[in-house]
Amino acid sequence: MKRDIHYYALLAFCRSCGFNKESSRKIAYASQYVDDARINLMTIQNPAPEVSVDRSDNRAVFLNMATCHSYFKIKTFNYEAMINNTCAFHFVPGCKGENFTKKLRCKEESPVALVLLNEALDDNNLIKFGIVLHAYADTFSHQGFSGMLSKVNDINHCGARNEVYLGIPDLILYLFKQLCGEKYDEMFDRIVPAYGHGQALTFPDLPYLVWSYRYDSSDTFEGRYTVVEIDNKERYQRALAKIKGYLEIYLKKHPEFRDSNYQFDDTPKLMSQLINKDSDRNREESWIAFMLKYGMFQKNEWSGIVYQESEWLRKAFQNFNPQTFNNRRVDNVILADHFAESDWYHFYQAVKWYKKRFFECCHQNKLFIPK
């Protein structure tokens, strides 16, 4: 799923269920930030006693807190990034199958994701809840694929059944497919590795799309192919209906986050907005217009609606710079005043909890991932 769902749709669903504005945004921001938190190591210039840190070469550091990485850089195609980021947060394993490779295949409502979600429901930590909702939502859209570079992800005959709006990289590949015809799949295998849903382009992440592909369904990848057709509209509506139910449960458990003055009861309108057939940018802008129209936010609050990727970093670090903080490693960060209360630090703590519990839950479901 993309930002229109992980952030904007979730923001609207939170408000519709009765979350107050601040809580709604915290949940939605944490959910989307899972797709943007690429920094995996920070060295700290001014560690504080109330801030929990890791240690590396006798220095205070924040370590192993990335939840994503660039999928277009070869150096990120490494085992640690795949298991700690891609598998853990975006392709939560279904733990079903005859071997390790098959067990890594993501399945809708993975038993691992459900355990983490139910634990988050009991905790009044909105950021933890938002992180888990991201992973849970992706089990619907990414099902059938694996977060490892794997034969599971080697598909062919992938095509859209209706009009599709693509970004420039995917559009180039899609036009290449039209030109190459039958030779496309063989040539495409040489260009795009079988990692995540890369060979399906962004098709799984477009909420309006009906599409199909062919995959090897045999136990030992012996060439027994099955064709599947996927209606993303149905998948996405099912996913958000489930999420809406969990949001309602969370509010019952933690009524301190409720806005008693607002609730939006028109679920069909939300579901119709969810599968809006348009470009990525237009879908996001349409969600903003929707929330303003139905009073979820006021016009003078529009800046509080728009997602800004660096917002939490900027507030947490005195020396934040978009250039230096755009790397996998950032040295000599300076903690801002009241850093321990910052959303970024709470996100960092929640990610550490999530990664620990992820591997434990996989182990409990007979999936043993070497670390």
Residue 220 is assigned to a structural domain of this protein: yes
Determine the average pLDDT of the residues in 258-278.
Answer: 94
Measured between alpha carbons, how far is 185 from 187 in angstroms, rounded to an integer? 5
Residue 263 has pLDDT above 70, yes or no: yes
Alpha helix locations (H) across the chain? 3, 10-17, 21-33, 79-81, 100-103, 111-121, 126-141, 168-180, 184-191, 232-253, 267-274, 280-293, 302-305, 311-316, 343-364
Domain count, the chain: 1
Which has the higher per-residue pLDDT, 219 or 261?
261
- The pLDDT-based confidence of 76 (bands split at 50, 70, 90) is low
Residue 321 is assigned to a structural domain of this protein: yes
Measured between alpha carbons, how far is 114 from 132 in angstroms, rounded to an integer? 9
Domain that holds residue 223: 3-364
* pLDDT value at residue 183: 60
DSSP string, 87-126: IIIIS-B---SSSHHHHTBB-TT-HHHHHHHHHHHTS--H
* pLDDT value at residue 360: 98
Residue 302 is assigned to a structural domain of this protein: yes
Residue 82 is assigned to a structural domain of this protein: yes
Residue 370 is assigned to a structural domain of this protein: no
Residue 320 is assigned to a structural domain of this protein: yes
Which has the higher per-residue pLDDT, 243 or 155?
243
Under a CB-based contact definition with an 8 Å cutoff, are residues 16 and 263 in contact? yes
**The tokens of 79 are what?**
């085992």
* pLDDT value at residue 177: 65
pLDDT per residue as tens digits for the range 3-55:
999 999 999 999 999 999 999 999 999 999 999 999 999 999 999 999 999 99
Residue 297 has pLDDT above 70, yes or no: yes
Residue 369 is assigned to a structural domain of this protein: no
- The pLDDT-based confidence of 340 (bands split at 50, 70, 90) is very high
Determine the average pLDDT of the residues in 343-352.
Answer: 98
- The pLDDT-based confidence of 329 (bands split at 50, 70, 90) is very high
* pLDDT value at residue 158: 84
Using DSSP, state whether 289 is helix, strand or coil.
Answer: helix
* pLDDT value at residue 219: 75
In this predicted structure, which of 35-39, 73-77, 238-242, 302-306 has the lowest mean pLDDT?
A: 73-77
pLDDT per residue as tens digits for the range 167-219:
766 766 667 666 665 565 665 666 677 889 988 989 999 999 999 999 988 87
Closest CA to 147 of 120, 173, 116, 113: 113
| Packing angle, helices 168-180 and 184-191, rounded to 10 | 140
pLDDT per residue as tens digits for the range 106-165:
999 999 999 999 999 999 999 999 999 999 999 999 999 999 998 899 988 888 888 887
* pLDDT value at residue 180: 63
- Residues above pLDDT 70, as percent of the chain: 92
Residue 323 is assigned to a structural domain of this protein: yes
